[in-house]
Structure formats: C-alpha cells, structure tokens
C-alpha cells in the first residue's frame, strides 16, 4: 500500500504497512488483561478471523507466563517504578599537566 504525490522535487511515495500479528497482540495486551478481548482487538486491527488470532493470543500468553517478572510493591500494595541508571565515569589518559 502506498500513496504518491507530486512535489517540486518530483513524485514522492510513502509506504504504509499494516501491523504484524505479533504487534497487534502486543498492543492488545497493553490495553486489557482479558485474553478474549485481546483476541478481538488484535483481530480488528489485522482484519483476520477471530479463531486464528485466539490461537496466537494463547501461545503468547503461555510463553509470557513462563517468564518471571518482578514487581515491587510499596505501601498498601501500590506498584512503583524502579529506575536503574549506570553512571559512566570518564577518565582521561593524559598525565598531569605541569606549568612551565
């Protein structure tokens, strides 16, 4: 799928690709936690039959259940973000400068 238009430098074309099934499922997981709703959202994004997408959503759910995630709960069960930053120390190889 592409769209052409003319500019003073000549014709220009923009390529527009629909999302992949994995991308659509990832987006649906970000919206809701229910697998049935995830399948419906991904099927609507892709224009695929619901049965096909449901099978892929189940596969993704099984594989993501195997990976462990760590959530740090604060007071009264509220989740908080943990940011780990690495500070880079710059060391110069040049020796000490002495005045003349």
Q: Give pLDDT tens digits for 1-43.
A: 457 888 898 888 877 777 789 889 988 988 988 999 999 999 9
Instruction: Give, to the nearest 10 degrees, the angle between helix 50-66 and helix 35-46.
Output: 130
* Beta pairing class for 2-7 and 10-15: antiparallel
Residues whose CB falls within 8 Å of the CB of residue 61, separated by 6 or more in sequence, listed in order: 35
Residue with tokens 């697998």: 35
Name the nearest CA neighbour of 36 among 19, 22, 53, 21.
53
**C-beta separation of 20 from 6 below 8 A:** no
What pTM did the predictor assign? 0.52
Angle CA 49–60–23, to nearest 5: 65
* Residue 77 pLDDT grade (very low, low, confident, very high; cuts 50, 70, 90): low
């Amino acid at each position: 799928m592409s769209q052409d238009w003319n500019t003073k430098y000549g014709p220009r074309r923009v390529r527009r690709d629909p999302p992949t099934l994995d991308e659509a499922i990832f987006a649906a997981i970000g919206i809701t936690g229910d697998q049935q709703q995830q399948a419906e959202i991904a099927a609507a994004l892709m224009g695929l039959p619901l049965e096909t997408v449901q099978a892929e959503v189940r596969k993704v759910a099984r594989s993501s259940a195997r990976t462990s995630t760590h959530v740090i709960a604060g007071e009264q069960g509220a989740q908080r973000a943990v940011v780990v930053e690495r500070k880079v120390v710059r060391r110069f190889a040049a020796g000490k400068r002495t005045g003349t």
